[in-house]
Amino acid sequence: MTKKLALILVFFITTPLVLALSFYFLGFSENEGKVLGGSTSPLFNSEKIFAALPTSNGVMAPTIIGNDATSIVIENYLKYYQSPLLPYKDKIIALSAQYGIKPQLILAIAQQESNLGKKSPEGCFNAWGWGIHSKGTKCYSSWEEAIESIIKGIARDYCSKGYCEDACEMMKKYTPRSDGSWCLGVNQFLAELENGDF
């Protein structure tokens, strides 16, 4: 009985001590006080600690965004905008990974060009403005065919040449007549998809 009481006493003494030391070292890290991109006071500062979490109107969002959350964010994004591409989200993610492209870029372009497929030419299955010009419109027989062709084409014609890192550079080739609104839109949609704030 005395042994158990001693163990309980040790637990209740050491736990607050360990927590206090953790908060202390969190405030004075080897990054000279920088935590999550900002400096902190020596005391625990929850505003800075949780600054990286997505918010919606100042209220903390229920999910934490990370590499493993890409599928969830994309699914929620496509649901939110009621996109006909929703059933193909896994295909978009898998093919993007296969060709070394961010799936967010593929969706940001689709959002800019056709409101995620809702305003693509009827029966054309082309949400990306791919091959749409004064000579005509490139159409596909299904979303699957379009997704495969466009991701492969963007990888080959844009990403392999370094255009995918900057939407404004990509715009010069993808839609050279744009006044800059294309890259502004794509960048806005990329930000929404990266941080889950839409």
Give 125-147 pLDDT, tens digit per residue. Answer: 999 988 766 676 789 999 999 99
Q: Supply the pTM of this predicted model.
A: 0.65
β-pair partners for 56: 59
Q: Is the pLDDT of residue 36 over 80?
A: no
What is the sign of the dihedral through the CA atoms of 155, 89, 105 and 52? negative
Looking at every residue in the chain, the average pLDDT score rounds to 80
Statement to judge: residues 76 and 36 lie in one domain: no
Q: Does a structural domain hold residue 57?
A: no
Range of the domain at 169: 67-195
- Domain-embedded: residue 38: yes
Is residue 1 scored above 80 in pLDDT? no
Tell how far CA 76 is from the center of its chain: 11
pLDDT for 110 equals 96
The rounded distance, in Å, linking the Cα atoms of 18 and 74 is 39
Is 59 within a domain? Answer: no
Residue 110 within any structural domain of the chain:
yes
